[in-house]
């Protein structure tokens, strides 16, 4: 455990240094950035050192793994659901999560709202946006975004806080080039401004510096912390 804790602490320090440096270049306050440690492929042993290092926000993408990690989490840990949502699982998220970053469907908005009301909870919502407006990809299509934002705002138990996207892949696979990634993140920032939303969930281990440069407020970082 000491070796694991030392490795996580060192990796977190490296990521935090990059966050601070990037924010300073942008004239931003790094305190406005929320670092979410994505623990989706980890065992419960990582939770104590992550929280001890001052990262209380944890990201999960499967309900069963979320339940396992929640049962072992230190006091103060806050769980974010960042994975693809299945309607039948929404009721299970309400008791465990402070935020969901991947909500898309109108039906899922209604179901999650009901589950939150029944659990006496209020959950932050980031709508996942299909920035490319590609019918083959997940996320809210651009033509539907305004209506979906307003639906979340009207739904009891939910707090509409921001938008989420993931960096695009190159046609041949792997990450797209830096300019394409920056355009994707800049588009999401423009959409958030248009809809008066304060938070942007974008940026992962390989591209979070680009995301920060385009205004990201919530970074979802996994492999870089646990390598």
SS3 of the chain: the string is CHHHHHHHHHHHHHHHHHHHHHHHHHCCCHHHCEEEEECCCCCHHHHHHHHHCCCCEEEECCHHHHHHHHHHCCCCCEEEECCCCCHHHHHHHCCCEEEEEEECCHHHHHHHHHHHHHCCCCEEEEEEECCCCCCCCCCECHHHHHHHHHHHHHCCCEEEEEEECCCCECCCCCECCHHHHHHHHHHHHHHHHHCCCCEEECCCCCCHHHHHHCCCCEEEECHHHHC
pLDDT of residue 118: 95
pLDDT of residue 143: 95
Nearest to 53 by CA among 76, 33, 72: 76
Can you tell me the mean pLDDT for 6-22? 96
- Give the C-alpha separation, 144 to 197, whole Å: 16
pLDDT of residue 1: 58
pLDDT of residue 223: 93
pLDDT of residue 214: 96
pLDDT bucket at 169, cuts 50 / 70 / 90: confident
Q: Using one digit for the tens of pLDDT, what is the confidence trace for 56-115?
A: 999 999 999 999 999 999 999 999 999 988 888 899 999 999 999 999 999 999 999 999
Mean per-residue pLDDT over the chain, rounded: 94
Can you tell me the mean pLDDT for 197-216? 96
pLDDT of residue 20: 97
- Domains with residue ranges and CATH for the chain: 2-226 (3.20.20.10)
Half-sphere exposure of 86 (CA within 13 A, CB side): 7
pLDDT of residue 135: 80
Assess whether pLDDT exceeds 80 at residue 182.
yes
Per-residue b or e along 179-207, where b marks 16 or more CB atoms closer than 10 Å to that residue's CB: eebbebbebbbebbeebebebbbbbbbeb
pLDDT of residue 211: 97
């Amino acid at each position: 455990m000491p070796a694991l804790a030392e490795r996580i602490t060192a990796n977190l320090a490296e990521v935090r240094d990059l966050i601070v440096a990037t924010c300073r270049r942008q004239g931003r306050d790094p305190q406005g950035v929320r670092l979410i440690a994505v623990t989706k492929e980890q065992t419960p042993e990582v939770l104590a050192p992550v929280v001890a290092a001052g990262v209380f926000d944890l990201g999960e993408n499967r309900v069963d793994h979320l339940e396992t990690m929640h049962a072992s989490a230190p006091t103060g840990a806050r769980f974010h659901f960042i994975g693809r949502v299945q309607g039948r699982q929404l009721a299970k998220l309400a008791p465990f999560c402070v935020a969901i970053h991947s909500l898309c469907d109108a039906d899922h908005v209604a179901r999650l709202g009901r589950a939150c009301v029944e659990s006496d909870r209020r959950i932050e919502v980031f709508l996942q946006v299909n920035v490319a407006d590609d019918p083959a990809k997940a996320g809210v299509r651009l033509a539907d975004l305004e209506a979906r934002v307003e639906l979340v705002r009207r739904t009891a138990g939910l707090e509409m806080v921001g938008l989420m996207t993931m960096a695009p892949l190159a046609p041949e696979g792997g990450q797209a080039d830096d300019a394409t990634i920056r355009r994707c993140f800049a588009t999401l920032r423009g959409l958030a401004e248009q809809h008066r939303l304060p938070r942007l969930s974008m940026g992962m281990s390989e591209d979070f510096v680009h995301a920060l440069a385009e205004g990201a407020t919530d970074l979802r970082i996994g492999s870089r912390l646990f390598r």
